Amino acid sequence: MRKLAIIFLSAVVSLSAFSGCSSSSPSSAESANTADNSASAEQTTKADSGNGEKIKIGVAICNYKDNFQVYMRDAMMEQAGKYPNYEFIFSDGNEDVGKQIGQVEDFISAGAKGIIVVPVNVDTAGPMVTACKEAGIPLVTVNRLINNQEEVGPYVGSESIQAGILQAEYVFEQMGGKGKAVILMGPAGSENTVMRTQGVHQVRDEKYPDIEIVAEEIGNWNRDEGMRIVETWLQSGLEFDAVLANNDEMAMGAAISLEAAGKRDDVIIAGVDAIKDALEFMKEGRLDVTVFQDAKGQGRGGIDTIVAAVEGTLNEQMVWIPFELVTPEKADEYLAMVA
């Protein structure tokens, strides 16, 4: 499943039309972009099975600049081709809560029968949940658990705390159970940020009391911000033996800063997601460990789950995709999965 080719073509559409362009092939899926709808890029994927109105599904992704989200979105588009009676409309929230809420409202106004959301902020997702309930349509959240998820509806993703636990157990053991560590965190309010960081602290508190966490700072999943933060720490004279980043992009930024300072070999660097760039860093000896989060599995699961919810055949409310620890000797194996 992970090696399926992406079978969509690009074309320009408007979200207000909510219908996409005609496919040049009856069996193909298609995608399209427009930058002129609520100041966001929109994409439409649908399989053309001939005449007849499609069942419309809105898909609100939180950030197209995040490589993991892009992998997940592309897997959703690929999986959408398996449902010829459905039309999937994709939007980019650009990590803007208000924009994403507006996109969900637009989907509902345009006649969507179901919505998938990768929420920008789990603490402020209430208006989207309320809007879907009032419209009487199912909402499936992917990748990030919303508060009171059991009251919201189906969820597809991985248990975020496990990523932090796997990461910390490996790093702290490599440190010999003592030393100083820093944490690069994702955006404030993100469920992944909160739970991955909590997982690191849990391992430290329960198993490694001689390890001191000397600094934590928000890097917003961004490589440049991770690089800047670590550079600032180094310039301030802060000493640390390990960097535990909530995602790979920030971990790679940390590696770049440590390399520039001539201190890369003195610090263990860990990420989460096992994206392609990070695995290449690992093969080059620039990253020590990451935790695989199956973006494609979550994407495919999100599409399957919303279709089941719309058709009334849903059996599971929580669809868990497990995390997996990735060390350098496994880099090639996981590169084959994400390529």
- Asked if 147 and 167 sit in the same domain, the reply is no
Q: What band does 338 get if pLDDT is binned at 50, 70 and 90?
A: confident
- Asked if 74 and 177 sit in the same domain, the reply is no
The reported pLDDT for the residue numbered 3 is 33
Report which of 99, 79, 144 is spatially closest to residue 117, judged by C-alpha positions: 144
Count of the separate structural domains present in the chain: 2
Neighbours of 53 (CB within 10 A): 9
Q: What band does 278 get if pLDDT is binned at 50, 70 and 90?
A: very high
Range of the domain at 217: 160-292
- What does the pLDDT look like over 290-330, one tens digit per residue? 999 899 999 999 999 999 999 999 999 999 989 999 999 99
Residue 228 falls inside a structural domain? yes
Q: Tell me: pLDDT of 206 over 90.
A: yes
- Asked if 93 and 191 sit in the same domain, the reply is no
Token pair 């979200």 is found at 15
- Asked if 76 and 144 sit in the same domain, the reply is yes
The reported pLDDT for the residue numbered 243 is 98
Q: Tell me: pLDDT of 331 over 60.
A: yes
Percent of the chain with pLDDT over 70: 85
- What does the pLDDT look like over 77-106, one tens digit per residue? 999 999 999 999 999 999 999 999 999 999
- Asked if 207 and 149 sit in the same domain, the reply is no
Residue 332 falls inside a structural domain? no
Cα atoms found within 13 Å of the Cα of residue 8, Cβ hemisphere only: 28
Q: Tell me: pLDDT of 229 over 70.
A: yes
Partnered with residue 290 across adjacent β-strands are: 326
Residue 328 falls inside a structural domain? no
Please report, for the domain that includes residue 180, its CATH number.
Answer: 3.40.50.2300
Q: Tell me: pLDDT of 119 over 50.
A: yes
Residues 6+ apart with CB under 8 A from 227: 253, 254, 256, 257
- Asked if 224 and 149 sit in the same domain, the reply is no
Q: Tell me: pLDDT of 11 over 60.
A: no
- Asked if 280 and 307 sit in the same domain, the reply is no
Residue 263 falls inside a structural domain? yes
The reported pLDDT for the residue numbered 43 is 56
Q: Tell me: pLDDT of 134 over 80.
A: yes
Q: Tell me: pLDDT of 52 over 80.
A: no
pTM here is 0.69
- Asked if 213 and 176 sit in the same domain, the reply is yes
The reported pLDDT for the residue numbered 27 is 27
The reported pLDDT for the residue numbered 9 is 28
- Asked if 171 and 25 sit in the same domain, the reply is no
CB 148 within 8 A of CB 209: no
- Can you tell me the mean pLDDT for 198-210? 98
Token pair 């069996």 is found at 27
CA distance 43 to 15: 8
Cα of first residue to Cα of last residue in the chain, in angstroms, is: 12
Q: Name the average pLDDT for the chain.
A: 86
The reported pLDDT for the residue numbered 151 is 77
The reported pLDDT for the residue numbered 285 is 97
CA distance 305 to 221: 27
Q: Tell me: pLDDT of 21 over 60.
A: no
Choice between 3 and 304, residue whose per-residue pLDDT is larger:
304
- Asked if 57 and 167 sit in the same domain, the reply is no
- Asked if 173 and 303 sit in the same domain, the reply is no
Report which of 254, 271, 272 is spatially closest to residue 263, judged by C-alpha positions: 254
Report which of 148, 165, 156, 64 is spatially closest to residue 116, judged by C-alpha positions: 156
- What does the pLDDT look like over 135-175, one tens digit per residue? 999 999 999 888 778 778 899 999 999 999 999 999 999 99
- Asked if 204 and 307 sit in the same domain, the reply is no
The reported pLDDT for the residue numbered 22 is 25
Residue 199 falls inside a structural domain? yes
The reported pLDDT for the residue numbered 123 is 85
